[in-house]
Structure formats: C-alpha cells, structure tokens
Amino acid sequence: MAVTMEQIKELREKTGVGIMDCKQALNECNGDLEKAIDFLRKKGIATAKKRGSRTTSQGQVQAYIHAGGKIGVLVEVNCETDFTGKTDDFSAFVKDLAMQIAATNPIAIDREKVPPEVLEREKEIYATQAKQTGKPEKVIEKIVEGKMKKFYSEACLLEQPFIKNPDITVQDLLNELIAKTGENIVIRRFVRFQLGESDEE
C-alpha cells in the first residue's frame, strides 16, 4: 500500500525522525504507525553509534537555578537539526541534565575529559589506602580499579545514575534520545556555580 504524506507527518511528529526514515519505516511496516515507531526505535539503537561522527550545530542552552539561588547551572546540548532542537523531548532532556548537574556536581562529561592530574591524585590516594591494609600488590591493583570505577560513576556526568531513575545512567538516557530522534546528540559543555565556593575548587 502507498504511504501518504499525512502518515509520514504523523510519524515524524511522534518520533522526531527525518522524513526519509519515516517513509522507509512505514513502507516496511505496511503503514502501521505503532509498528513503524518500534521499527525506528530498533533501528535508532542499532545506528546510534554510527551517528557519532555527524555534525551537531543545533540544539539548546538551558539554565537551572536551585536552592533559592544558591546553585546555578548552564548546559549546552547539540543535535543535528533545528527541528529536533525544538522538540519537547529534547528540551526535557536538557532540563533534566541541568538538574542532574546541579544535584551531583560532576567533574567532567566523560572519562576523557577528567583532568589527568585529578585522575593521578585519586589513584594515588586509593593506592595509599589499599597499601595500608597490608594486602598483596595484585589485590591492591584490584581495589584501586574498583574505587576508580566508583569515582567515574560519581565524577563523570554520563556514568552517573540518572537522578529521576537511578536504574539507568545519563548515558542510557542520552542513547534513548538518540534512538528516538535518529540524530547524533552531544552534551557539549556545562558550568556549575555554587554560592560562596572559591575559584580554586
């Protein structure tokens, strides 16, 4: 059966996915809207990693002020198209992200962006603590490894449990949005201010 522009438009509004992908999904699913949504979700998850290299120059910057003006966050999230950048799902994600940063105070977006001197200091502290237990070197390495994993889950935004649903990480939440929109989405940068904190922190 021929797919109509109305069906494509409806699917695009529900998913935020591009016209050609919507048309293909509806053709594959014989015009069944719900099946087409599932088709796009499955395809989105499968192709999310491939999108990593696509240019992201659209998106939003959002601000969040917490605790009676004592904590403030600015966060920038980028996507590929202006259309996706204006959707409710995208706005909700950026807002949730700003709240997450206000609540958890991450050091960096991911492991690669944690300053090397911070990593070295943490490893040194954990190694010193582990050595004081008198355990063998191999065990000490495992202890440090375990503590570093915990450190990353607290310090890196993408590895943190999502404050509204601790069963998933922020990375999981981002992957869901990438799958839903069919676009490459990147958390570009953030800054968090806390009243009274010194510049050296």
DSSP string, 53-80: GS---EEEEEEEEETTTTEEEEEEEEES
Write the single-letter amino acid at 34.
E
**CATH 1.10.8.10 in the chain, residue ranges:** 5-47
Written out in words, the top-level CATH class of the domain with range 5-47 is: mainly alpha
Q: What is the pTM of this model?
A: 0.68
DSSP string, 141-196: HHHHHHHHHHHHHHHBGGGSEETTEEEEEHHHHHHHHHHHHTS--EEEEEEEEETT
Element (H, E) at 26: helix 19-28
| Helix 5-15 × helix 33-47 angle, to 10° | 50
**CATH 3.30.479.20 in the chain, residue ranges:** 53-111+156-194
Residues above pLDDT 70, as percent of the chain: 89
pLDDT digits (tens, 9 = 90+) for 56-68: 779 999 999 987 8
DSSP reduced 3-state for 21: helix
CATH 1.10.8, domain 115-154, yes or no = no
**CATH 1.10.286 in the chain, residue ranges:** 115-154
CATH 1.10.3720.10, domain 53-111+156-194, yes or no = no
pLDDT digits (tens, 9 = 90+) for 154-193: 999 999 999 999 999 999 999 999 989 888 899 999 999 9
